[in-house]
Structure 1
Amino acid sequence: MLDHRRLTILIALALGLWLGATAFIRLLPAALSDPIWVSASFAAMAPLGWLSVQVIGRLAGLKGPDLLAGVAVVGAVAMMIDGLVLAWRPEVYAPTQSGARLGGAWLLWGYGLSLGIALWMSRANTK
């Protein structure tokens, strides 16, 4: 169950993960613009997505269906922040529109992958 304490933890995790991803996009622009690095950055999201789901579950004390719900809360909060920043302050991610677009693509990939991993993990824990 996602009680008030767990929701607070999940929102804090969303902010922390958002800040980390934003720092990555901002400080390592070549990781999303260079053809070799971008492939590595997208591939690295598989273990990072798995790790983030593990951290979310452990810190918020979530298992089974609650794990998927918790990851969805974290993703929803972070995606709403991304939407606002990409619409009104894309320079937070990168000094160019192209850089912000590439960062947005990487973020979407990471959110989708993390949600898929959480779905798989939550189904595996209910059997």
Structure 2
Amino acid sequence: MEVETMLRKSQIAALTLLAAIMWAGVTYQIKHNPNPGETREIMRFLLAPVGGVISVWLCKVVGRLSNEQLLAGTALVGGLAMVLDGAALRWFHGLYGFNEQVLRVAAAGLLWGYGVAYLIAIVWVSLATRKQPGLS
């Protein structure tokens, strides 16, 4: 039985839409709640693994991804969102706000969130493939 690891066009389309929606949601939250306070900011960082699990799960469900496709799908969603973040922070920084401290904290939160989601995807795939003997 051959395992399909490449993403199909329909999966790429669905995941591209998911990336845009997730990016827009986070951007809206940063713009409209730029100074949540130190305690809430720490809680965001501590709860990032929960958001990471939800993000990876959404990628799997929306993209109809097999375990073998999950890393590629998660990388596509995260990569697209990072490109949008990079463009926004470089050329449209007013999208997030004009305060340099807010932009720095937002950028740190975005990097942290992407990193946590990628690590969760790697663990997810590793655990899933251990449960399926014969898959490398």
TM-score (norm 2): 0.88
Partner residue of 2:31?
Answer: 26
The Cα of 1:15 is off from its aligned counterpart by 0.2
Q: Any idea what SS the aligned residue of 2:47 has?
A: helix
For the 8 Å contact 1:65–1:123, the answer to whether it is kept is no
Give the whole-Å Cα distance in 1 for the aligned partners of 2:98 and 2:44: 19
**Alpha-carbon distance in structure 1 between the residues aligned to 2:106 and 2:18:** 20
Q: Which residue of 1 aligns with 2:102?
A: 99
Segments ≥4 residues shifted beyond 3 Å: none
Q: 2:72 aligns with which of 64, 69, 72?
A: 69
**Structure 2 letter corresponding to 1:90:** H
After superposition, residues 75-94 of structure 1 pair within 5 angstroms as 75-94=78-97
Residue 18 of structure 1 and its aligned partner are, at CA, apart by: 0.2
**Structure 2 unmatched ranges of 5 or more:** 1-5, 131-136
Task: Extract unaligned runs of 5+ from structure 1.
Answer: none
Aligned residues: 125
Higher Cα Rg: structure 1 or 2?
A: 2
Residue pair 1:62, 1:70 contacting (<8 A) in 2 also: yes
Higher percent of residues as helix: 1
Q: Distance in 1 between matches of 2:102 and 2:11?
A: 34
Counterpart code for 1:7: I
Tell which deviates more after alignment, 89-98 or 3-12.
89-98
Please provide the CA RMSD for this pair.
1.0
Give the aligned residue type for 2:72: A
What percent identity do the matched residue pairs reach?
32
